[in-house]
Amino acid sequence: MKRNHKIVIIVLIQVLFLFGMIGFKQYTLSFGTPVLLKSAPVDPWDIFRGEYARLSFDISRIKCGDLDAESYQRGGTTVFVVLERGEKYWDAVSISLEKPGVRANQVFIKGKLEYYNSENQECRVAYGIETFYVEEGRGSDIERLRNMDVLVRIDRFGNAVIEKLL
């Protein structure tokens, strides 16, 4: 194969990879279940990243007394959290190491176990939706808010994407 062909193939693979990432998120936004979550913004500005909102969700702290004790020790373990529709917000009702079955008013979201607090048997879970980049100049407005509603789309595989901040 000629050198030019190799370069073209490498560039095409990179472009396909980028479009695949975009397509994956677009699938979740198009076909995912809309879920309203309660959040609070934390430190929305960084000199290297620009203005963004780092979000702290109520569903990130979960009672996890029924998880296997060995999994508590390993940060980064994939977990599945079942969310159930409440009056306004969706609430975490259970956590497991395997994909759970869900009822009509439930969805599950996939996350990574960050740590386990043995005193109160509470887990901290990250879902990959904790950062949301905002328009230039809006960071200080978001910083003043104490609570914020976040509309998230969750697909049937448990992947989540932020649709918008409310």
Q: Read off the pLDDT of residues 57-106 as tens digits, 9 standing for 90 and up.
A: 889 888 876 566 555 556 678 889 999 998 999 999 988 888 998 888 89
Q: What is the mean pLDDT of residues 16-32?
A: 87
CA–CA gap between residue 11 and residue 99 (Å, rounded): 36
Q: What is the pLDDT of residue 3?
A: 78
Please, what's the b/e burial string for 13-43 (b: 16 or more CB within 10 A of its CB; e: otherwise)? Answer: eeeeeeeeeeeebeebeeebbebebbbebee
Which of 115, 113, 114, 81 has the alpha carbon at shortest distance from 98? 81
Q: Of 7-16, 37-46, 62-71, which has the strongest mean pLDDT? A: 7-16
How far is C-alpha 12 from the geometric centre of its chain's CA atoms? 29
Asked if the model's pLDDT at residue 140 lies above 70, the reply is no
pLDDT for 55 equals: 83
CA angle 156, 161, 162 (to 5 degrees): 135
* pLDDT for the residue numbered 30: 85
Identify the top-confidence range among 21-25, 135-139, 151-155.
Answer: 151-155
Nearest CA-CA partner of 127 in 165, 94, 88, 81: 81
**What is the phi/psi pair of residue 49, to 5°?**
-100, -10
- For the chain, the distance separating the N- and C-terminal CA atoms, rounded to the nearest angstrom, is 53
Residue 42, pLDDT score: 66
The per-residue pLDDT for 73 is 59
Beta strands in 13-105 (DSSP E): 33-42, 45-46, 50-57, 61-63, 78-85, 90-96
pLDDT at res. 13? 94
Q: Look at residue 157 in the predicted model and tell me its pLDDT.
A: 92
Q: What is the pTM of this model?
A: 0.78
Please give the residue that has the higher pLDDT: either 123 or 43.
123
**What is the average per-residue pLDDT within 9-26?**
90
**CA–CA separation, 16 vs 25, rounded Å?**
14
166 confidence band (pLDDT: 50, 70, 90): confident
